[in-house]
């Protein structure tokens, strides 16, 4: 409903003009959209980090399994081709495999630690974005309430003008 142009703006009016409300509403909507896109990006990043963590765990498990299988195969082939007097393990072989496995485990633990830190940072960022989104939604509700109140005031003023014009008209 469009009001006639000859209606004056009420001098005691405290609510913002409708154009200003539209600008505020557009700003709030754009902030909400930006926040949503940031949340989507952060969720995607967190998902990738979780996938990388799962892949690193699977790789560590496969590597440990392969080392165990290789050690078992070496032990089996060594025992089948050697005499009982040659059956003793070389301490340098065991130490080499042990240090390699320990280095791999330490590397994977560091990767897991870094990924957990990134995950906790992502969760904190996600919580911050959700709080910002809630704030934007509250601002949007307040702007809608102000717009509703202003429209009601305008309609009430229009009704008063109609009543006044009807009483002033000669019959």
pLDDT tens for each residue of 81-133? 544 444 455 667 777 778 888 888 888 889 999 999 999 999 999 899 888 89
Q: Are 108 and 60 in contact (CB under 8 A)?
A: yes
User: How far is Cα 59 from Cα 111, in angstroms, rounded to an integer?
Assistant: 12
User: How far is Cα 121 from Cα 124, in angstroms, rounded to an integer?
Assistant: 5
- Kindly state the average pLDDT of the residues 138-142: 92
**Is the C-alpha dihedral spanning 47, 52, 53, 59 positive or negative?**
positive
Of 17, 4, 10, nearest to 157 by C-alpha is 10
| pLDDT above 70 for 2 | no
pLDDT at 84: 46
The answer to whether the predicted template modeling score (pTM) of the entire model surpasses 0.85 is no
User: How far is Cα 167 from Cα 171, in angstroms, rounded to an integer?
Assistant: 9
Q: What confidence tens digit (pLDDT) does each residue in 11-57 have?
A: 455 555 556 777 877 888 888 888 888 888 888 888 888 888 888 88
């Amino acid at each position: 409903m469009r009001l006639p142009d000859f209606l004056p703006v009420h001098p005691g009016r405290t609510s913002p003009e409708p154009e200003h409300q539209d600008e505020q509403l557009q700003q709030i909507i754009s902030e909400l959209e930006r926040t949503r896109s940031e949340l989507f990006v952060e969720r995607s990043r967190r998902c990738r980090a979780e996938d990388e963590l799962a892949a690193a765990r699977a790789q560590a498990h496969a590597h440990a399994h392969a080392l165990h299988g290789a050690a078992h195969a070496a032990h089996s082939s060594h025992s089948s081709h050697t005499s009982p007097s040659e059956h003793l393990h070389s301490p340098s072989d065991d130490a080499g495999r042990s240090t390699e496995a320990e280095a791999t485990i330490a590397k994977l633990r560091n990767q897991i630690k870094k990924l957990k830190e990134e995950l906790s940072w992502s969760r904190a960022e996600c919580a911050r974005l959700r709080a910002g989104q809630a704030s934007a939604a509250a601002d949007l509700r307040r702007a809608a309430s102000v717009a509703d109140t202003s429209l009601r005031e305008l309609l009430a003023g229009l009704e008063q003008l109609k009543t006044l014009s009807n009483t002033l008209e000669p019959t």
